[in-house]
Amino acid sequence: MTERRAKSFGRFPRRAPACHWLAASIIAGLAWAVASAPVNAQLNTQEEPVESFEIGLSTNRIGITADFNGAQLVVFGALDNADARIQRQQRYDIVVALFGPRAPVVVREKQPVLGIWVNQDSETFDAAPTTYSVASTRPFQDIASKAVRERLSLGIDSVRLSIADNAESEAGQTNRSEFEAALRRIRTNKGLYSEATGEVRFLGPSLFRADLRLPADLPVGVHTARAYLFRQGVLIRQSSQQLTVVKVGFEAWIDRFSEEHGASYGVLAVLLAVFTGWFGRVIFRRD
């Protein structure tokens, strides 16, 4: 009985378990994935170039004197490894902005009461740039979406005036928007905020230049110049440089003396006023 059963098993080959075939399929799939991965990576690298983007300033330091009447800052840069097809289609856009030192500011609304203008409502903005100048290759709405413009402060209407939004209700939000528009309008009329569309120009395949106008009331401190590179409406690179504004000359000495020796400065100011009044009386005295 045992011998016959052994012979019957010997007539047919034993089948391999199903798990062996599954393991072989997995190994073959992994080998194919490993072999094709470098090819796919190489193809992706060839399809999307990695652009490099750097900027520089015509000067990194501006001195403020008594006769300072504004200035012009030139921001130049280079765009390397650009896609030739996108460049021919002029789908690269650049926005250059100069942000002055941020400082808190209070905007008040005046209303007539019994013939007298008095302050009524007010709104505080904790991080409004003292000055703001921006230039672009095209209109801002053609370069990026509204959300991107507000996030990056591209354009006077989108410049960020506060870090934290304190408005809670819909009525409060509307009221705050009116104060924001008022602050932007006031500083634009004073020349502190300015924008120029089309002032960023390509001088060649890779070089570009932007001219920013600086106001006469340029505050001292560290200003930040930022440049943003867009490819077909998508932000891909940004670069920044710092500009230092300081007082120079006799005005700078007076400013430092008043800060370091406040009491002595006050005494000298009073004596100068007394001497000026006496001297004027002597000159214009009528006998």
Give average pLDDT by consecutive 10-residue segment, the chain, 287 residues.
46 50 56 51 52 91 88 92 84 94 90 79 91 94 92 93 63 75 94 93 89 92 95 91 88 73 82 82 72
Torsion of CA 254, 259, 265, 266, to 10 degrees: 130
Q: Which pLDDT belongs to residue 280?
A: 78
The answer to whether the CB of 237 falls within 8 A of the CB of 163 is no
Q: For the chain, first and last CA: distance in Å? A: 157
Q: Which pLDDT belongs to residue 47?
A: 53
Q: Which pLDDT belongs to residue 276?
A: 84
Q: Which pLDDT belongs to residue 114?
A: 78
Residue carrying structure tokens 């470098």 = 38
Q: Is the pTM of this model over 0.95?
A: no
- H/E/C letters for each residue in the chain? CHHHHHHHHHCCCCCCCHHHHHHHHHHHHHHHHHHHHHHHHHHHHHHCCCCEEEEEECCCEEEECCCCCCEEEEEEEEEECCCHHHHHCCCEEEEEEEECCEEEEEEEEEEEECCEEEEEEEEEEEEEECCEEEEECCCHHHHCCHHHHHHHCCCHHHCCCCCCCCCCCHHHHHHHHHHHHHHHHHHHHCCCEEEEECCEEECCCCEEEEEEEECCCCCCEEEEEEEEEEECCEEEEEEEEEEEEEECCHHHHHHHHHHHCHHHHHHHHHHHHHHHHHHHHHHCCCC
> 3-state class of 18 per DSSP?
helix
Q: Which pLDDT belongs to residue 272?
A: 84
Task: Determine the Cα–Cα distance for residues 150 and 132; give it in Å rounded to an integer.
Answer: 14
Look up residue 133 and give its two tokens.
Answer: 């100048």
